[in-house]
Chains A and B, each alone.
Chain A
């Protein structure tokens, strides 16, 4: 199949959806620390408006149009914000999880200092994430990708402790180093092929290039830039260290913005720039599949060795996010669907677990795995949500994680890459090995006499901590059970992949 340039319609909506949270962020910063009520209203209003706008875009896209906004950023190179069906997948995930994360963050930080700064940068993060979702070419992607780095750094160092500042430094070393390579790859690509917008099936397929080595090098440079944020081994070390950040930030890093942006970037790179067939012809798909497989197994093994709950979750993310890369690297319709849909599924599952981990720490002072004993007796709802998400991660039918793994496995078989099935099985066993003991501890062991610590905030705050996790746990179930219905993430991903794989 030869990719064809898309018919777009000029529309300000993709720009508006990006700018909404930017203005909210600026307003929050200007309001200052003490306008708590107004800040909360602004935060929630911006998140709701954003979600509504994304829905509006989704309706336009379903109707068959591709709204686009563009202007010249650098001479000859346009900043393109365009909503295609892939954008909508990522944007709706981010916008929906954003809303629940905001609710959670308001509750979680109800006593923290520097909240104006926190929520200001929080909003700028979602601006960057929307920009990444709507980016219509690699330059635009790069601009928002860097903005995301800049806006998340203050969140990582938010507490200002030594450990936080050190984690922030590690984060920058990895992300800025990666982006320097990304930029070189980008310059090289444009020098070779001229400015290009994303096209399903690969914009490079439209230019006739006989530059195997150069294309391979470009792919590697850009993929390293993406791989840092997607935490592909050995570029992952920043992620576990960034766990010193407050729980909503971890949720954000792992499920909504940063890690997802990296994985999403890999999707764009493979499907919309190089195209699956060129990627495979250059031998890059295989390389990516191997890198992703190593990451999946390595992340799970290291997760097994952790005794800190958030560290365990971090390594689990390292492992799980690479399912996305694995899916697109294996190629073929089924595996690609599996990878794309995991973008959403991993998001709702992992965010549930981070919400719960934060709740455990806030209410009971529980941060280590051996402190989880009998926790379900004290916090049955949170423990329930956590367990559902963990079972989903393991891939228990009919939860969301099962759907991803099923499609990945079926895709591997269909394309004759049976070793990938081995990776999936190993990963599933390892997932079970580190998640099942947690569930067993929470539900089966007796509770301790005294909990390690924690606070007893107001009922409203407790509700703000627990409800978001219940909602995302519900999504974990719903996305699995209702996977076959129209407009489910699976249906949407299948629709996208029709454009990628004939």
Chain B
């Protein structure tokens, strides 16, 4: 039953996407929601199997790799899949209001949205390099299309830049895959490392692959495309880009590093990756601090937060793996909430210039609260998912006596406090009399509209993750890399 559930996970949104294209617009909402909702029971079934000690595998069309497509779900894939479900569910709630299915934008949005969801699920389940490539391309292409969906010139430019860099990165990845296949005769993610020998060709292949993945994960200094792409995209799209899309390539990198038989496990390379992460944390945070627009601030915050993931490579311990995986979850939920809140404020105020936020709390308290709660998690203050992640990461860094990493982690959360509180302080500030005239927003909405509820719900979830971390961690523990004991 569990292998079938894996198929449902991918095909339910995919079939829904096709159905949305052919069905009349009024059926869109129901079809889309059904496609997403069906993945929940499927996830549940797979989770039950994995908790029972199984590794759920399926070979599509009855052929094993390298000919067929293999899917495989362990604790790590499932953790990511659950993150996908939660984020997608709430962001879809937002999108129902911001991309109504009867509008032009809505008709373009929903099919792509569903294909994106299906591709992300498929990516987390893929067990071979080529399949990963295909799903990665699908994720990138749909993401690019959705950034450009509004047609604004700035968004188009950002989408184009993302597309070009993304394609280049994909080429790197594809080339590396071909080289690896030539060397080892397999594409199986879990076998390629064992068969790979040493040599210039192997090194080149791995370097190409890592570079490609780093570009797509926007790790400093390869982040240049991210701020504009995430900052100019429509709210729900930004949310999902920051929460999920940049994480998928980090997922692949972690899989390759820790699962592919230690082919990449190299001390110097690990240190360099960690260093890039440290630079990302500091640089991204400072860049966020100096932004003048809310969504750009949130986008740079993503650049910084992705840096923490990179610390896994030098630390390379069970504690670090747990911490980083939990960080990915906490950041995903909190950042989605933050982007949704930012988008709601932008829609209400007509602009996301930070100065425009003065006094926003009086009129849009729910969205300001959502932003602030998500901010608590981003800063890593208790009680929140971000705190649990930071605590575990600090512990891991301390155990391995990585004092430099400890310093960066601590500094990172203080820098995050600067940009988060800057926004909240503006929203709490009293407008001076001259500017207190109400500026009508473009889309006035009720205080408890669906868009606000989606933002607040995700933000509350980011806090709850900090209290109810135990079940999540037990799932993560089922997906530890080989050689790491819980």
**B408-419: contact bitstring with A at CB < 8 Å (1 yes, 0 no)?**
001001100100
Contacts of A72 in B (CB 8 A): 469-470
Q: Nearest Cβ distance between residue A4 and chain B, in whole angstroms?
A: 29
Closest residue of chain A to B381 (Cβ to Cβ) is A146
Contacts of A162 in B (CB 8 A): 429
Contacts of A161 in B (CB 8 A): 430
Closest residue of chain B to A140 (Cβ to Cβ) is B382
Given A73-B469, A169-B421, A183-B394, A146–B365 Cβ distance below 8 Å?
Answer: no
Contacts of B261 in A (CB 8 A): none
Task: Find out whether the CB atom of B382 lies under 8 angstroms from the CB atom of A147.
Answer: yes
Task: Give the residue of B365, B417, B469 whose beta carbon is less than 8 angstroms from that of A117.
Answer: B365
Task: Find out whether the CB atom of A73 lies under 8 angstroms from the CB atom of B361.
Answer: no
- For residues 385 through 410 of chain B, which have their beta carbon under 8 Å from a beta carbon of chain A? 387-388, 391-392, 394-395, 398-399, 406, 410
Instruction: Kindly state whether residue B473 has any CB partner on chain A within 8 Å.
Output: yes
Closest residue of chain B to A142 (Cβ to Cβ) is B382
Closest residue of chain B to A159 (Cβ to Cβ) is B430
Please report whether the interface of chain A is mostly helix, strand, loop or mixed according to DSSP. helix
**A137-177: contact bitstring with B at CB < 8 Å (1 yes, 0 no)?**
00000110011011001100101111001001100100011
Task: Find out whether the CB atom of B391 lies under 8 angstroms from the CB atom of A157.
Answer: no
Instruction: Kindly state whether residue B322 has any CB partner on chain A within 8 Å.
Output: yes
Given A114-B362, A160-B359, A187-B398, A154–B467 Cβ distance below 8 Å?
Answer: no
Task: Give the residue of A114, A117, A168, A190 whose beta carbon is less than 8 angstroms from that of B425.
Answer: A168
Task: Find out whether the CB atom of A191 lies under 8 angstroms from the CB atom of B398.
Answer: yes
- Inter-chain CA distance A363–B341, complex, in Å, is 41
Given A75-B473, A117-B365, A176-B414, A160–B395 Cβ distance below 8 Å?
Answer: no
Q: Nearest Cβ distance between residue A333 and chain B, in whole angstroms?
A: 35
Instruction: Kindly state whether residue B25 has any CB partner on chain A within 8 Å.
Output: no
Task: Find out whether the CB atom of A184 lies under 8 angstroms from the CB atom of B410.
Answer: yes
Task: Find out whether the CB atom of B388 lies under 8 angstroms from the CB atom of A160.
Answer: no
Instruction: Kindly state whether residue B133 has any CB partner on chain A within 8 Å.
Output: no
Contacts of A160 in B (CB 8 A): 359, 428-430
Q: Nearest Cβ distance between residue A343 and chain B, in whole angstroms?
A: 24
Task: Find out whether the CB atom of A180 lies under 8 angstroms from the CB atom of B414.
Answer: yes
Task: Find out whether the CB atom of A177 lies under 8 angstroms from the CB atom of B414.
Answer: yes
Instruction: Kindly state whether residue B383 has any CB partner on chain A within 8 Å.
Output: yes
Contacts of B394 in A (CB 8 A): 183-184, 187
Instruction: Kindly state whether residue A74 has any CB partner on chain B within 8 Å.
Output: yes
Instruction: Kindly state whether residue A188 has any CB partner on chain B within 8 Å.
Output: yes
Instruction: Kindly state whether residue B376 has any CB partner on chain A within 8 Å.
Output: yes
- Inter-chain CA distance A159–B428, complex, in Å, is 8
Contacts of A29 in B (CB 8 A): 369
Contacts of B406 in A (CB 8 A): 184, 187
Interface size class of A (residues with CB under 8 A): 35 or more
Closest residue of chain A to B383 (Cβ to Cβ) is A143
Q: Name, among A74, A157, A187, A191, the residue most crowded by chain B CB atoms within 10 Å (CB to CB).
A: A74
Q: Nearest Cβ distance between residue A258 and chain B, in whole angstroms?
A: 16
Contacts of B428 in A (CB 8 A): 154, 157, 160, 165
Task: Find out whether the CB atom of B470 lies under 8 angstroms from the CB atom of A176.
Answer: no
Task: Give the residue of A73, A146, A191 whose beta carbon is less than 8 angstroms from that of B388.
Answer: A73
Task: Give the residue of B365, B381, B392, B395 whose beta carbon is less than 8 angstroms from that of A191.
Answer: B395
Q: Nearest Cβ distance between residue B397 and chain A, in whole angstroms?
A: 9
Given A143-B383, A165-B425, A180-B410, A74–B388 Cβ distance below 8 Å?
Answer: yes
Task: Give the residue of B322, B382, B410, B421 whose beta carbon is less than 8 angstroms from that of A146.
Answer: B382
- Inter-chain CA distance A113–B361, complex, in Å, is 12
Q: Name, among A73, A113, A162, the residue most crowded by chain B CB atoms within 10 Å (CB to CB).
A: A73
Task: Find out whether the CB atom of B361 lies under 8 angstroms from the CB atom of A117.
Answer: yes
- Inter-chain CA distance A29–B448, complex, in Å, is 13
Task: Give the residue of A117, A147, A183 whose beta carbon is less than 8 angstroms from that of B410.
Answer: A183
Contacts of B467 in A (CB 8 A): 73
Task: Find out whether the CB atom of B417 lies under 8 angstroms from the CB atom of A169.
Answer: no
Q: Nearest Cβ distance between residue B313 and chain A, in whole angstroms?
A: 21
Task: Find out whether the CB atom of A180 lies under 8 angstroms from the CB atom of B376.
Answer: no
- Inter-chain CA distance A165–B424, complex, in Å, is 10
Q: Nearest Cβ distance between residue A143 and chain B, in whole angstroms?
A: 4
Task: Find out whether the CB atom of B322 lies under 8 angstroms from the CB atom of A75.
Answer: yes
Contacts of B473 in A (CB 8 A): 75
Q: Nearest Cβ distance between residue B290 and chain A, in whole angstroms?
A: 16
- Inter-chain CA distance A10–B385, complex, in Å, is 27
- Inter-chain CA distance A168–B430, complex, in Å, is 14
Contacts of B383 in A (CB 8 A): 73, 143, 147
Task: Find out whether the CB atom of B395 lies under 8 angstroms from the CB atom of A187.
Answer: yes
Contacts of A172 in B (CB 8 A): 417, 421
- For residues 170 through 208 of chain A, which have their beta carbon under 8 Å from a beta carbon of chain B? 172, 176-177, 180, 183-184, 187-188, 190-191
Contacts of B430 in A (CB 8 A): 159-161
- Inter-chain CA distance A183–B387, complex, in Å, is 11
Contacts of B410 in A (CB 8 A): 180, 183-184
Contacts of A154 in B (CB 8 A): 428
Contacts of A113 in B (CB 8 A): 362
Contacts of B414 in A (CB 8 A): 176-177, 180
**B335-358: contact bitstring with A at CB < 8 Å (1 yes, 0 no)?**
000000000000000000000000
Task: Find out whether the CB atom of B417 lies under 8 angstroms from the CB atom of A74.
Answer: no
- Inter-chain CA distance A146–B417, complex, in Å, is 13
- Inter-chain CA distance A77–B359, complex, in Å, is 40
Contacts of B362 in A (CB 8 A): 113-114
Contacts of A190 in B (CB 8 A): 395
Q: Nearest Cβ distance between residue A19 and chain B, in whole angstroms?
A: 12
Closest residue of chain A to B358 (Cβ to Cβ) is A160
Q: Name, among B392, B417, B430, the residue most crowded by chain A CB atoms within 10 Å (CB to CB).
A: B430
Contacts of B369 in A (CB 8 A): 29
Given A117-B365, A160-B429, A169-B421, A188–B398 Cβ distance below 8 Å?
Answer: yes
Task: Give the residue of B359, B365, B470 whose beta carbon is less than 8 angstroms from that of A75.
Answer: B470
Q: Name, among A117, A147, A183, the residue most crowded by chain B CB atoms within 10 Å (CB to CB).
A: A183
Closest residue of chain A to B391 (Cβ to Cβ) is A74
Contacts of A75 in B (CB 8 A): 322, 392, 469-470, 473
Q: Nearest Cβ distance between residue A86 and chain B, in whole angstroms?
A: 22
- For residues 100 through 129 of chain A, which have their beta carbon under 8 Å from a beta carbon of chain B? 113-114, 117
- Inter-chain CA distance A165–B399, complex, in Å, is 39
Task: Find out whether the CB atom of A143 lies under 8 angstroms from the CB atom of B382.
Answer: yes
Contacts of A146 in B (CB 8 A): 381-382, 387
- Inter-chain CA distance A158–B381, complex, in Å, is 21
- For residues 116 through 156 of chain B, which have their beta carbon under 8 Å from a beta carbon of chain A? none
- Inter-chain CA distance A190–B469, complex, in Å, is 19
- Inter-chain CA distance A149–B365, complex, in Å, is 20
Task: Give the residue of B381, B395, B429 whose beta carbon is less than 8 angstroms from that of A150.
Answer: B381
- For residues 418 through 472 of chain B, which have their beta carbon under 8 Å from a beta carbon of chain A? 421, 425, 428-430, 466-467, 469-470
Task: Find out whether the CB atom of B376 lies under 8 angstroms from the CB atom of A150.
Answer: yes
Q: Nearest Cβ distance between residue B227 and chain A, in whole angstroms?
A: 25
Contacts of B398 in A (CB 8 A): 187-188, 191
Task: Find out whether the CB atom of B382 lies under 8 angstroms from the CB atom of A176.
Answer: no
Given A143-B382, A150-B376, A176-B414, A169–B470 Cβ distance below 8 Å?
Answer: no
Contacts of B361 in A (CB 8 A): 114, 117
Q: Nearest Cβ distance between residue B302 and chain A, in whole angstroms?
A: 21
Contacts of A114 in B (CB 8 A): 361-362
- Inter-chain CA distance A161–B414, complex, in Å, is 24
- Inter-chain CA distance A149–B376, complex, in Å, is 11
- Inter-chain CA distance A274–B425, complex, in Å, is 38
| 25 A–B contacts, CB within 8 A, in A order | A29-B369, A71-B470, A73-B466, A73-B469, A75-B392, A117-B361, A142-B382, A143-B383, A143-B387, A147-B383, A150-B376, A157-B428, A159-B430, A160-B428, A160-B430, A161-B430, A165-B425, A169-B425, A172-B417, A172-B421, A180-B414, A183-B394, A184-B394, A188-B398, A190-B395
- 11 further contact pairs, Cβ within 8 A, besides A142-B382, A183-B394: A73-B388, A73-B467, A113-B362, A114-B362, A157-B425, A157-B428, A157-B429, A160-B430, A183-B391, A184-B394, A191-B395
A-B interface, 8 closest residue pairs, ranked by CB to CB distance from nearest = A160-B430, A143-B382, A160-B429, A146-B382, A146-B381, A187-B394, A180-B410, A191-B398
